[in-house]
C-alpha cells in the first residue's frame, strides 16, 4: 500500500467550487477556515486554491463542530492535539520497527 500522504485522499486536486458543492459550505466560510489555520490548501502558480478529499473531510468535521457550538480556536487546539498524538504514535512505531528490525 502507498504512503498515506501520497494516497489519492491527500492529493490537492479540487478547486474551491467543487469543495463548496461537496460540503455545502460557502466559499467565504471555506476561506475563513483557511484564515483560521484549520485547513491548508495548496496554491497553483496563479494562486488558485487546490484541496484534497482529506480537506473535504476536515471541512465537514469543522462544520459539524461549529454546528455543535464549538469555537474555531477550540477546534484548532483539538486538531493540534490529534496531530501531536499521530506524530508520537508514528515515532513509537518507528522505534519499535527499528528495535525489532522490521522493514516495511
Work out the average pLDDT over 19-45: 97
What integer pLDDT is reported at residue 5 of this predicted model? 58
What integer pLDDT is reported at residue 102 of this predicted model? 81
Q: Are strands 42-43 and 49-50 parallel, antiparallel or unpaired?
A: antiparallel
Spans of all domains in the chain: 4-99
For 58-96, write each residue's pLDDT tens digit.
Answer: 999 999 999 999 999 999 999 999 999 999 999 999 999
What integer pLDDT is reported at residue 1 of this predicted model? 43
CA distance 15 to 102: 40
Q: What is the pTM of this model?
A: 0.79
What integer pLDDT is reported at residue 53 of this predicted model? 96
Burial 35-64 (b: 16+ CB within 10 A, else e): eeebbebeeeeeeebbbbbbbbebbeebbe
CATH 1.10.1660.10 is right for the domain spanning 4-99:
yes
Amino acid at each position: 500500500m502507498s504512503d498515506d500522504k501520497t494516497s489519492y485522499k491527500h492529493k490537492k486536486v479540487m478547486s474551491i467550487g467543487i469543495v463548496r458543492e461537496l460540503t455545502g459550505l460557502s466559499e467565504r466560510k471555506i476561506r475563513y477556515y483557511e484564515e483560521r489555520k484549520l485547513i491548508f490548501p495548496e496554491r497553483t502558480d496563479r494562486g488558485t486554491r487546490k484541496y484534497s478529499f482529506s480537506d473535504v473531510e476536515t471541512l465537514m468535521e469543522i462544520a459539524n463542530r461549529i454546528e455543535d457550538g464549538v469555537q474555531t480556536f477550540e477546534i484548532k487546539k483539538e486538531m493540534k492535539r490529534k496531530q501531536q498524538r499521530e506524530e508520537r504514535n508514528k515515532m513509537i512505531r518507528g522505534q519499535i520497527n527499528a528495535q525489532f528490525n522490521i522493514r516495511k
